[in-house]
Amino acid sequence: MQPGALVVLQERLEALHLTFTQAAEIPGWVYSLRGLQELHLSGRLGCEGGVGRGWALGSLRQLRHLRVLVLRGMLQRVPGELGSRLLVLTGLRRVAGLTELQLQDCHLERLPSALLALTSLRTLDLQHNSLRTLEELLGLAHLRRLSCLRLAHNRVLALPASVGVLRALEILDLGYNQLQSLPPALFNLHHLRRLLLAGNLLDELPAEVGVLTFLTELDLSGNRLESLPPELFSRCLDLRSLNVSHNSLGSLPPGLSNLSQLSRLDLRSNSLEELKGLKRPIRLTLTFIPTCFAHI
């Protein structure tokens, strides 16, 4: 790159997207982009025998204005102080000013301990990994500004009670895991607006869902639900989108008409014979297969 062009980029470039096959292809001048606020890197971020040449998250500490970091690609596991964890991620501690971090398709099996240093995080996206346990959630209590947590498309078997410490959460996406139940502590997250639980193994939605009075979106599609608690329809009055498609629902509790803000209701692939609870006309965009109902 011409020196003059680099000077301009150093001062003016705010967002950069790079795709590569090996980390050695990441140019060194990336670390000198002083005005950079967003960095998106896609590719193989590690190599056999150690961290890829020229790749070091610690070098990002020079990017003092970096707020969004997105890594998509395989991070090679290497021996070190973190054992089976990803040593390459320890450098995250050097970019403590991040407000959004995405680590997708990185083959993560546990939550990296380096996350604990990112106290300014508002959004953490760990979708499309291999997470099985979330026991480290308790440590995320230090992230007092964390409002969005996306953990969809992993292998999580259970949600620990420690999820209750994430009091600032407004968006929680646990879709497409292997959850069979929801802990009572989940319903301590009173600021939740979007709760996404599609594609799990849930056979019950606890009545405690009624305390989540700020919910505007609830996605329960692709589970094993046979019924829904009345509290969902009597207390979650801000709901605008409710997706319960691909379950085993035989009926809905009375009170559907209480949801005056509801604009999307997806009832596809259930065993519903009639739609009760409509005491007055409401405006809806219904998504369903007509043959699901004998009476509406």
- Locate tokens 């409509």: which residue? 278
| CATH classification at residue 93 | 3.80.10.10
How much is the average pLDDT of 216-236? 97
Among residues 281, 279, 273, 278, which one has the least CA distance to residue 290? 273
pLDDT at site 155: 97
In a domain, 146, yes or no: no
In a domain, 86, yes or no: yes
pLDDT at site 73: 82
The number of distinct structural domains making up the chain is 1
pLDDT at site 23: 67
State which H helix or E strand residue 8 sits in: helix 3-12
Whether residue 83 is predicted with pLDDT greater than 50 in this model: the reply is no
Listed range (64-68, 90-94, 151-155, 246-250) with the worst mean pLDDT: 90-94
Residue scoring higher pLDDT (89 or 224): 224
What's the pLDDT band for 112 if we cut at 50, 70, 90?
confident
Q: What is the pLDDT of residues 212-224, one digit of tens each?
A: 999 999 999 999 9
In a domain, 263, yes or no: no
CB distance 175 to 219 below 8 Å: yes
How much is the average pLDDT of 28-46? 84
Tokens of 237: 């009055």
Q: Which residues contact 118 (CB under 8 A, 6 or more apart)?
A: 92, 95, 96, 98, 101, 143
| Structural domain that includes position 29 | 1-130
In a domain, 257, yes or no: no
What's the pLDDT band for 80 if we cut at 50, 70, 90?
very low
Beta-sheet pairing, 217-219 with 241-243: parallel
pLDDT at site 282: 56
In a domain, 39, yes or no: yes
How much is the average pLDDT of 11-31? 81
| CB atoms inside a 10 Å sphere around CB 141 | 14
In a domain, 285, yes or no: no
In a domain, 37, yes or no: yes
Q: How far apart are CA 208 and CA 222, in angstroms?
A: 21
Whether residue 184 is predicted with pLDDT greater than 90 in this model: the reply is yes
In a domain, 36, yes or no: yes
